[in-house]
């Protein structure tokens, strides 16, 4: 994935210029975004009949590796419903969805703005997602073209880029999260919940009440809902509010048919049901994971009894091909999780945090780079500890860099690591840290535990001071004022 590197100066300018971001008019559903992408040549419609068990996944993988367009499969086996994949898999399309420049600095800015200025959803009475009430649906046959995404998957995965919606029975907090849904039979789907997920917090409260948990699966979503459902939005904060903040207008919601859950009014498909509190499905998965490897089978897994399906007239079925980077999933999680980690460090009160990137190359999960203005002895270690302590992420590797390094630029980060780090002085290793079992570098008997590594890639200024011989060497870069003048005169030199 090509992530365009912002200059920190640019970032600061954007921070001051939030009015650019507030004036956006973004897309309230998948269709309007698809129409925009079509108009701009960013969609490939595939009208050839394709096989859902091997061909869809292979086309998606090839298309991701080519940095290709969004795909609409119009003829998956004999299904009439089109399958939409990859609408948000590139920096350009992510930017288009938010109507901001295709620069990570603009993404960072708009996410920070959404956290600071969330917008609550509004409830409507008539919703497109209820245009058709489907009766006697057999999810294995009809009407949605659910692929076997990877050759070794246990079954078709209905939910890959979607939201499972649940409510905290005590506080009313509505959570939206992307938790996959393998189809087990005509009206039962899995709901895989990794440890620490917010849906799990809700489930435990429903269990205490002794009642099954109402849940709704929303598929075919406005881009901002896809972005927030995968992005570690803090507990007790609804993804609806942050998505509204990203969108610049409230998300429209409607009451579900079988519960008081509020579901996105403009979703393509809503599948409602209940997740039992005292029954589990014996076996779920394996499924091709975001790490690029097959995950393991899960035993005694949560599942949902489907009670009702509604959808728009002629709906689109949306999904994504999980796997190694580059992928749509990495693109989405990288931006959203970087914003979530920034927010976490800010809420923890750590000073001097300038920018954060949960890197695409680490599957948007395992490595976090933080740029700081170092203010006190031990500051870098404080950052390590708080990154490791973020409750729902699992950034086992943390690199802390100075303000002159852009955390989104892997070459700059490696330059800092190469020229400012002595491993015996600047690398901290902590054994037995929190991780996820999907990290294949762990041997099976230690799954879920990981060694944590913190790399202090800031200039060793204090160490130089203690050495009292020389100062840390000066940079070879031109003076900032010279760069500024050269930029002003750039066209005069004949550059376009
Ligand atoms: C394509 C995709 C599929 C995902 N599948 C799952 C899943 O099956 N189970 C899970 O716990 N997390 C899954 N995740 C990660 C969660 O969606 C993500 O951590 C999100 O922040 C969870 O919401 P929560 O923070 O409200 O719990 C997936 C992410 C993506 C991008």
Q: What is the reported pLDDT for 142?
A: 77
Helices (H), 348-406: 379-389
Per residue in 317-348, pLDDT (tens digit) is 999 999 999 999 999 999 999 999 999 999 99
Residue 385, SS3? Answer: helix
- Centre of ligand 1 to C-alpha 192, Å, is 9
pLDDT tens-digit profile of 396-448? 999 999 999 999 999 999 999 999 999 999 999 999 998 899 999 999 998 88
Instruction: Look at residues 389, 390, 485 and name the one whose alpha carbon lies nearest to residue 430.
Output: 389
- Examine the pLDDT at 8 and tell me if it is beyond 60: no
Helix, strand, or coil here: 455? strand
Q: Coil, strand or helix: which one is 290?
A: coil
Q: What is the pLDDT of residues 84-129, one digit of tens each?
A: 999 999 999 999 999 999 887 888 899 999 999 999 999 999 999 9
**How many angstroms does the Cα of residue 230 sit away from the middle of ligand 1?**
5
**For the chain, first and last CA: distance in Å?**
26
Greatest CA separation found in the chain?
81
The pLDDT, as a whole number, for residue 259 is: 98
Q: What pLDDT score was predicted for residue 102?
A: 87
Residue 20 has pLDDT above 80, yes or no: no
pLDDT at 7 over 80: no
Of 408, 410, 405, 407, nearest in space to 420 by CA: 405
Of ligand 1's listed atoms, the one at least distance from the Cα of 233 is 25
The Cα 24–Cα 247 span in angstroms is 8
The tens digit of pLDDT for each residue in 178-206 reads 999 999 999 999 999 998 899 999 999 99
Q: Decide if pLDDT at 23 tops 50.
A: no
Q: Which residues line the pocket of ligand 1, CB cutoff 6 A?
A: 160-161, 175, 177-180, 192-194, 197-199, 230-232, 320, 322, 329, 332-333, 392
Q: Which of 23-27, 150-154, 244-248 has the least mean pLDDT?
A: 23-27
Mutate-to-test residue for ligand 1 from 160, 166, 177, 195, highest number of ligand atoms within 8 A of CB: 177
- Residues 187 and 319: their CA atoms lie apart, in Å, by 19
pLDDT at 196: 87
Q: Is the pLDDT of residue 271 over 60?
A: yes
- Is the confidence at residue 14, as pLDDT, over 90? no
Could you tell me the domains of the chain? Answer: 118-487 (2.30.110.10)
pLDDT value, residue 22: 40
CA-to-CA separations, 36 to 41, 240, 279, 331, 399, in angstroms, rounded: 9, 23, 44, 20, 38
Q: Distance from the CA of 471 to the center of ligand 1, in angstroms?
A: 47
Q: Under 8 Å CB-to-CB from 6, ≥6 apart: which residues?
A: 103, 104, 105, 106, 108, 406, 408
pLDDT tens-digit series, residues 52-62: 999 999 999 99
323: left (phi over 0), alpha (psi -120 to 50) or beta: left
Q: How far is CA 263 from CA 34, 187, 303, 309, 438, in A?
A: 21, 20, 19, 12, 31
What residue's CA is closest to ligand 1, atom 18?
Answer: 230
Which helix (H) or strand (E) segment is 166 a member of? Answer: strand 162-167
Query: For residue 25, what pLDDT band results from cuts at 50, 70 and 90?
Result: low
Asked if residue 406 lies in contact with residue 354, where contact means CB atoms within 8 angstroms, the answer is no
Q: Is residue 12 pLDDT above 50, yes or no?
A: no
Q: What is the pLDDT of residue 408?
A: 94
């Amino acid at each position: 994935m090509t992530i365009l590197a912002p200059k920190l100066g640019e970032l600061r300018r954007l921070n001051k210029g939030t009015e650019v971001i507030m004036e956006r008019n973004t897309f309230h559903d998948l269709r309007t975004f698809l129409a925009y992408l079509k108009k701009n040549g960013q969609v490939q419609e595939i009208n050839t009949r394709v096989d859902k068990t091997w061909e869809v996944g292979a086309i998606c993988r090839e298309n991701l590796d080519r940095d290709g367009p969004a795909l609409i499969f119009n003829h998956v086996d004999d299904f009439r419903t089109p399958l939409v994949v990859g609408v948000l898999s590139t920096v350009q399309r992510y930017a288009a969805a938010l109507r901001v420049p295709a620069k990570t600095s603009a993404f960072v800015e708009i996410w920070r703005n959404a956290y600071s200025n969330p917008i609550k959803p509004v409830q409507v009475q008539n919703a497109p997602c209820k245009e058709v009430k489907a009766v006697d649906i057999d999810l294995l046959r009809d009407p949605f073209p659910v692929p076997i995404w990877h050759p070794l998957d246990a079954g078709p995965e209905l939910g890959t880029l979607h939201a499972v919606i649940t409510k905290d029975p005590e506080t009313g907090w509505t959570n939206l999260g992307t938790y996959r849904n393998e189809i087990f039979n005509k009206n039962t789907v899995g709901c895989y919940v990794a440890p620490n997920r917010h849906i799990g917090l809700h489930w435990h409260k429903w269990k205490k009440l002794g009642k099954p948990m109402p849940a709704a699966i929303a598929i075919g979503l406005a881009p901002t809902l896809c972005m927030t459902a995968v992005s570690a939005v803090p507990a007790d904060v609804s993804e609806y509010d942050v998505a509204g903040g990203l969108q610049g207008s409230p998300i429209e919601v409607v009451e579900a048919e079988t519960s008081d859950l509020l579901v996105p009014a403009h979703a393509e498909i809503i599948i409602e049901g209940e997740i039992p509190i005292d029954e589990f499905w014996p076996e779920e998965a394996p499924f091709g994971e975001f790490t690029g490897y097959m995950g393991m089978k899960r035993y005694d897994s949560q599942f949902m009894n489907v009670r009702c399906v509604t959808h728009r007239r002629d709906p689109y079925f949306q999904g994504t091909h999980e796997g190694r980077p580059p992928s749509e999933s990495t693109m989405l999680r990288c931006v959203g999780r970087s914003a979530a980690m920034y927010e976490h460090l800010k809420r923890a009160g750590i000073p001097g945090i300038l920018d954060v990137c949960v890197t695409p190359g680490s599957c948007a999960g395992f490595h976090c780079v933080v740029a700081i203005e170092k203010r006190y002895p031990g500051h870098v270690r404080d950052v390590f500890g708080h990154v490791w302590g973020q409750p729902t992420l699992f950034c086992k590797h943390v690199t802390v860099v100075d303000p002159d390094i852009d955390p989104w630029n892997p070459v700059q980060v490696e330059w800092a690591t190469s020229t400012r780090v002595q491993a015996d002085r600047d690398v901290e290793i902590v054994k037995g840290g929190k991780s996820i079992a999907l990290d294949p570098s762990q041997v099976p008997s230690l799954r879920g535990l990981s060694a944590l590594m913190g790399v202090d890639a800031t200039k060793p200024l204090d160490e130089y001071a203690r050495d009292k011989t020389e100062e840390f060497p000066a940079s070879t870069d031109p003076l900032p004022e010279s760069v500024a003048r050269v930029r002003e005169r750039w066209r005069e030199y004949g550059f376009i």
